[in-house]
Chains A and B, each alone.
Chain A
Amino acid sequence: MQEDYINITLADDDEDDRLFFTDAFDDIKITTRVKTFNDGVYLMDYLNSDDALLPNVLFLDLNMPRKSGLECLKEIKQNPKFKDIAIAIYSTSASEEDIENTFIQGANIYIKKPSDFKTLKKVLAEVVTINWQYHTNSMNKDNFLLRF
């Protein structure tokens, strides 16, 4: 039977951003389970472990020490084990180059981190709702591109 919640994972080295992110899901109607990691190395170690619970949507900050979001994205896209994960880039950068490049590398969603909490909640709610439609209707994720 279909599970009625969505697994969300975030890798971001900024503690405040992680906190806002987690709080933003509290009011969303779709039930979510949120897990966060402090950088790309911790994230990839977890995802590659045998008992990892793979997220439905993975949010990646681009600028992280040790391993950047882009490096994580490339690794994830090369491993068929991760093919069902929708990938959202979650970054302070709004450069057209970053946006187009991450989409080409296989990201599904690009979010420029909103500066206020209200907008953040709205954007994340929309991402989760649209992803839910792709998830529950077996829609083609290859064509799933979304930008905020």
Chain B
Amino acid sequence: MTLFFKFDFNAICQIVLEQILNDNNIKYKSVGFGEIEVLEKLSKEKQDQLQNALANYQIDIVENQKSILVQKIKDTIIDMVFNEDVVVNVKSSVYLAETLEHSYGYLSNLFSEVTYTSIENFIILQKIEFAKQLIIKQEFSLTEIAFRLNYSSVAHLSTQFKNTTGITPSAFQRIIAKRRALNQQNKTD
């Protein structure tokens, strides 16, 4: 029997983070979006101890201001693409600038400098990732997926999918299905 799971990564990370902070007896206030306000002064030892505990979950404390802002840009984009409750009626450049209270030019330059890709490409990559997840679930038609991801048509989604991955959505679906069947077979052999 194979079970499929759906995760809320933000919720999981928040729970893990709070648990570790509690385990380390650190007083804190959650500000949301991977931001924690520590209500006491942390000694160097305590900070190292916390960092080590977090490292087991591959969670890093972000130190540099630029990295923090880039992480906020990424979180905002991921939320914009993946979260159905976030309805964006303006262009994503305007939305990012308003949400993060910096000019888009500044955000865009900073992002490219740190991540080696542009905000535009990152948004496309995340949209295609989301499309992949929906395609694999097979719950929705391509028309529905295109609508959900704000593409003007299926053709537009298919073209962007092909340009980004080099393969068509239907080839993607076929390959993943065959790969899963093969893994299943290897397990039972």
* Cβ 8 A contact of B125, one of A100, A130, A147: A130
* Cβ 8 A contact of A139, one of B129, B176, B182: B129
Instruction: Give every chain B residue within 8 A of A137 (Cβ-Cβ).
Output: 74
Number of A-B contacts (CB under 8 A): 53
> Does B136 lie within 8 Å of A148, measured CB to CB?
no
> Looking at the complex, which of A35-43, A57-65, A101-109 is the stretch in contact with chain B?
A101-109
A129: min CB distance to chain B, Å: 5
B64: min CB distance to chain A, Å: 10
Question: Which residues between 6 and 40 of chain B lie within 8 Å of chain A, taking CB atoms?
Answer: none
* Cβ 8 A contact of A147, one of B60, B129, B167: B167
B177: min CB distance to chain A, Å: 9
| Cα–Cα distance between A130 and B166 once the two chains are bound (Å) | 13
| Cα–Cα distance between A2 and B186 once the two chains are bound (Å) | 34
Q: A139-B129, A143-B136, A146-B165 in contact; A132/B116 too (CB < 8 A)? A: yes
Q: Does B172 sit at the interface, judged by CB under 8 A?
A: yes
Q: Does B109 sit at the interface, judged by CB under 8 A?
A: no
> Does B58 lie within 8 Å of A138, measured CB to CB?
yes
Taken residue by residue from 113 to 148, chain A's Cβ proximity to chain B (1 for < 8 Å, 0 otherwise) reads as 000000000000000011011001111101101111
Instruction: Give every chain A residue within 8 A of B100 (Cβ-Cβ).
Output: none
Pairs across A and B, CB under 8 Å, 12 listed: A2-B60, A100-B171, A104-B179, A104-B182, A110-B166, A132-B117, A136-B115, A142-B176, A143-B133, A145-B176, A147-B167, A148-B166
Interface residue ranges, B against A (CB under 8 Å): 58, 60, 74, 115-117, 122, 125, 129, 132-133, 136, 165-167, 171-172, 174-176, 178-179, 182, 186
> Which 3 A-B residue pairs are closest in the complex by CB-CB distance?
A147-B166, A143-B132, A104-B178
